[in-house]
A and B are shown apart, each in its own frame.
Chain A
Amino acid sequence: MVSADLAGAAGRWLASAPGSAVPTWNLVSDIRQMLMFPFMVHALRAGTIVAVTAGALGWFMVLRRQSFAGHTLAIVSFPGAAGAILLGVSVSIGYFAVTIAAALVIAAAPRSIGGRARSSESAIIGTVQAFALACGALFVSLFGGFLNGVTDLLFGSFLGISSGQVLVLLAAAVVTLALLALIARPLFFATVDPDVAAARGVPVRLLSAVFLVLLGCATAEVSQITGALLVFALLVMPAATAQRLTARPALSFTLTIAIALATAWLGLGVAFFSAYPVGFYITTFGFAGFVLASAWREGGRLVRRRARRRTPSAVVAAP
């Protein structure tokens, strides 16, 4: 967070040089050491909220193949936050206002039911993204010297999260997830089989727009922890990993949330004991999970293929 009121424990911890917390490699005492700092408790709470939200929305985003739109919403959050600082309003407001506005623009892009208008949709999304980055660059140059904050906007920081901000995140997450739960099944229908869903009276376009707005909210929340550029780690990686592992919707959804939580907690925990940005760790763990899942699946397939190849020859050998 750029508002970075590095007061209290965080300030004291920083003053004694970042990364100076030394792990004892005893899990229980390390965790206890972490939880002694209120800023760390706030960070873990915020991380938990954000992981659940990002996992849930990300699962649908990956299924809908809307990662490009999600990426753009994430990028947009950067000029949103920068603009909010410039105008002197709350950064949270900046994040939410701008991502929701961008979600509405993307939702207005023509997207035929059969997917024929995909290319014009991605052209519009690309334009939004480029415009957002340009605005971000403008705001940064208007800032003048305050470059430290810009790095936080892009790559995340978890030091300055106040309990008030945790409450804002929680409220936003509850609203986002409740709405998602309300539309979950028709949204799934419209994602998997839009033509039949439309014939059954599912409002396919409206659902798509609502989903993009919810995705915008989720992005706004996640950006506040991981920074605009690394939102993807929590939004895409857990869902992509889980969907590699299983094709059962309920199971892969649960798995997505679990992976997102594990990634966020691990990332925050390791970042506590090191001097580097939390976004780096979250991304690294997320990507590692994805690679492991891919290896697992490919390995399984290889073994099965080999077994299948061996069976007929065994039959021939034993007549």
Chain B
Amino acid sequence: MREPRHSDPDPPRPADAVRFEHAAVQVGGRTIWSDVNISVPSGEFCAVLGPNGVGKSTLVKAALGLVPLSAGSVTVLGQPAGQSGRRIGYLPQRRSFDPGLRVRGIDVVRLGSDGERWGVPLPFADRLLPSRRAARERVAEAIEVVGATAFAGRPIGQVSGGEQQRLLIAQALVRRPSLLVLDEPLDSLDLPSQTAVAALIARICREHGVTVMLVAHDVNPILPYLNRVAYLARGGAVCGTPAEVITSPTLTALYGTPVEVLRASDGRLVVVGEPEAPARHTDRHGDQARPW
């Protein structure tokens, strides 16, 4: 990832990599959220936060053009959503691989570079054709950037969750995207891995000028690196710097019920009283007060 994106001449860079304007989404006739205004300036690290089921994954899918808006607009890298697919690296929410899947990590990463092309990869083409050789080098490079070289040759179902997550980040990175969309990449990682992966993403953002939009349910591991936070609620969203957004008055106004933000002595933030979304589809978190 030394010289990102010098090969393709980009259209002139808009100031905002992602911009939602008065956006709303309906799934199955139900409005998930409405009147959402979010902007992520190019090259910044932005977190999307909110309680379970509020529609964070739906938000990133709308940015990718996978879910249509019912109102408003979304612009991604200067184009309507869904039209800059090649320049976006996407990591969907927690997908685990079947432990019996006999495909190596490096193959999964490689799919990120040419998976949607029709036809069969010709045997040995990646040694002979210069363009294929370059693609091969990019795969190796992406794997190196995330520190996955040691286990990229093992079947993906047999490496640990954290190792899978690194490989998947490499897959999202392999095309040197301008925008990385990561849906809960820290989910199910232990604390040291969370810290390491968060630092890794921040480094990619800083050193390669990649805009990062990251969904999280715990802001603390990424808090030191964040430029921006989008807090999502049913009626809308607030977007701004962490210091502006993660405060008792802002969140109380957003949710319409008293929400308190406490700062622990070690700098960690704890959000108390945040309401549950009306219809929850998972019950991963039963507790009311969560460390954010």
Contact = CB atoms under 8 A, between A and B. Distances in A.
Do A and B truly interact? yes
Interface of A: 63, 65, 114, 181-186, 188-189, 192-193, 195-202, 243-244, 246-250, 252
Interface of B: 64, 66, 85, 90-92, 95, 97-98, 101-104, 107-108, 111-112, 114-121, 123, 154-156, 171-172
B185 to A, nearest CB: 13
Contact of B121 (A185, A193, A244, A246): A185
B102 A193 contact: no
Contact of B118 (A185, A192, A196, A252): A185
Given A182-B118, A184-B119, A188-B115, A195 B102 contact: no
Contact of A182 (B111, B114, B119, B155): B119
A199 B92 contact: yes
A252 B66 contact: no
A187 B108 CA distance: 13
Contact of B111 (A188, A199, A243, A246): A188
A183 B118 contact: yes
Contacts of B156: 192
A184 B118 CA distance: 7
Contacts of A185: 114-121
A202 B119 contact: no
Contacts of B92: 195-196, 199
Given A196-B115, A199-B92, 5 more contacts: A114-B95, A196-B111, A197-B116, A244-B102, A246-B102
Contacts, number: 83
B46 to A, nearest CB: 19
B98 to A, nearest CB: 7
A50 B234 CA distance: 57
Contacts of B112: 196
A186 B116 contact: yes
B197 to A, nearest CB: 18
Contacts of B66: 198-199
Contact of A248 (B98, B104, B116, B118): B104
Contacts of B64: 199
7 contacts: A185-B116, A186-B117, A192-B107, A192-B111, A192-B156, A196-B90, A248-B104
Q: B interface, by DSSP: helix, strand, loop or mixed?
A: loop
B119 A189 contact: no
Interface hub of B102, B107, B154, B171 (most chain A Cβ within 10 A): B102
Q: Which 7 A-B pairs have the closest CB atoms?
A: A189-B115, A195-B92, A247-B155, A243-B102, A184-B120, A247-B102, A199-B90
B102 A65 contact: no
A259 B74 CA distance: 52
A276 B101 CA distance: 37
Contacts of A197: 111, 115-116
B115 A186 contact: yes
B119 A201 contact: no
Contact of B103 (A181, A182, A198, A249): A249
Contacts of B121: 185, 250
A196 B120 contact: no
Contacts of A201: 85, 116
Contacts of A249: 103, 107
Nearest to B120: A184
A189 B154 CA distance: 18
Nearest to B171: A196
A250 B104 CA distance: 11
A197 B108 CA distance: 11
B33 to A, nearest CB: 20
Contacts of A182: 118-119
Contacts of A202: 115-116
Given A186-B115, A198-B66, A192 B85 contact: no
Nearest to A198: B66
Nearest to B64: A199
A191 to B, nearest CB: 9
A183 B97 CA distance: 22
A197 B171 CA distance: 11
Given A195-B92, A199-B90, A247 B103 contact: yes
A199 B103 contact: no
A181 B55 CA distance: 39
Contact of B120 (A181, A195, A244): A181
A243 B155 CA distance: 11
Contacts of B102: 63, 243-244, 246-247, 252
A65 B98 contact: yes
Contact of A193 (B95, B114, B120): B95
A195 B95 contact: yes
A186 B91 CA distance: 18
Contacts of A244: 102
Contacts of A192: 97, 101, 103, 107-108, 111, 156
A181 B123 CA distance: 13
Given A192-B103, A195-B92, A199-B90, A250 B123 contact: yes
